[in-house]
Chains A and B, each alone.
Chain A
Amino acid sequence: SQTIHQWPATLVQPVGSPLSLECTVEGTSNPNLYWYRQAAGRGLQLLFYSVGIGQISSEVPQNLSASRPQDRQFILSSKKLLLSDSGFYLCAWTVRRLAGVRGETQYFGPGTRLLVL
């Protein structure tokens, strides 16, 4: 079965410090991968998605970046954090090349709570 991991689970960082959040998927190959951010009490905002190694699409201009160095690894980074980067970051994956519910459903990791002070 497939599982998705995110770490760290929680993170408190000072303004201006760098950031690296990691997401890995097990039990599948060549997935689509996604990074979302959720502000407190709000819905999810798509930040980046990737359909393959080295292929990154950005949805929202910001000081964050994403990379996909391996097929099942997705990394969210920042060189200098802002207060507004605080939030709950969720990674998700889908199985491609399948029609219907199996090919379209995104499955989410446990998330990382980031607080920038």
Chain B
Amino acid sequence: AQKITQTQPGMFVQEKEAVTLDCTYDTSDPSYGLFWYKQPSSGEMIFLIYQGSYDQQNATEGRYSLNFQKARKSANLVISASQLGDSAMYFCAMRVIQGAQKLVFGQGTRLTINP
């Protein structure tokens, strides 16, 4: 069965430092997609970054990058130069079925940026 594991319930980081949020996944499907979403206190889910299983390069989007290690089945999110506005819940997710594009989510990591 497909599963996403986020082992860090909470992270505390000083402003301007880089932070890595861990995500491991489990699937037997050779074709899959991995996503990171940010959920601020307002509740909306904001798409941050995507990595396809066949992508050769690690995905990057501005201050966000995805450290994709396929053999280890990990897809960690790296936020460089953290800002106070980065404080939020962060969810890792995986697409499990092509066509219907269903997502399986991890339990999330609450990131707090301290000034």
Query: Bound pair: A and B?
Result: yes
Q: Is the CB of A100 within 8 A of B52?
A: yes
Q: Provided the pairs A108-B45, A113-B43 are in contact, do residues A43 and B100 lie with their beta carbons within 8 angstroms?
A: no
B99 at the interface (CB under 8 A from A): yes
- Chain A residues, Cβ within 8 Å of B42: 110
Q: How far is A45 from B35 in the complex, measured between Cα atoms in Å?
A: 15
Q: Is the CB of B102 within 8 A of A46?
A: yes
B50 at the interface (CB under 8 A from A): yes
Per-position contact with A for B78-101: 1 when CB-CB < 8 Å, else 0?
000000000000010101000111
Q: How far is A103 from B99 in the complex, measured between Cα atoms in Å?
A: 10
Tell me the count of chain A residues lying within 8 A, CB to CB, of chain B.
28
- Residue on B nearest A57 in the bound complex, by CB: B100
Per-position contact with B for A25-57: 1 when CB-CB < 8 Å, else 0?
000000010100000001111100101000001
Q: Is the CB of B106 within 8 A of A49?
A: no
- Chain A residues, Cβ within 8 Å of B95: 104
A94 at the interface (CB under 8 A from B): yes
Q: Which of A102-116 contact B (CB under 8 A)?
A: 103-111, 113
B12 at the interface (CB under 8 A from A): no
Per-position contact with B for A70-90: 1 when CB-CB < 8 Å, else 0?
000000000000000000101
Q: Is the CB of B101 within 8 A of A104?
A: yes
- Residue on B nearest A92 in the bound complex, by CB: B45
Q: How far is A49 from B47 in the complex, measured between Cα atoms in Å?
A: 19
Q: Is the CB of A42 within 8 A of B107?
A: yes
Q: Is the CB of A43 within 8 A of B43?
A: no
Q: Is the CB of B102 within 8 A of A43?
A: no
Known: A32-B100, A44-B105. 16 other contacts (CB 8 A): A34-B102, A34-B103, A42-B107, A43-B106, A46-B104, A49-B100, A90-B43, A94-B101, A100-B52, A104-B35, A104-B50, A104-B95, A104-B101, A106-B103, A108-B37, A109-B44
Interface of B toward A, CB cutoff 8 Å = 33, 35, 37, 42-47, 50, 52, 91, 93, 95, 99-108
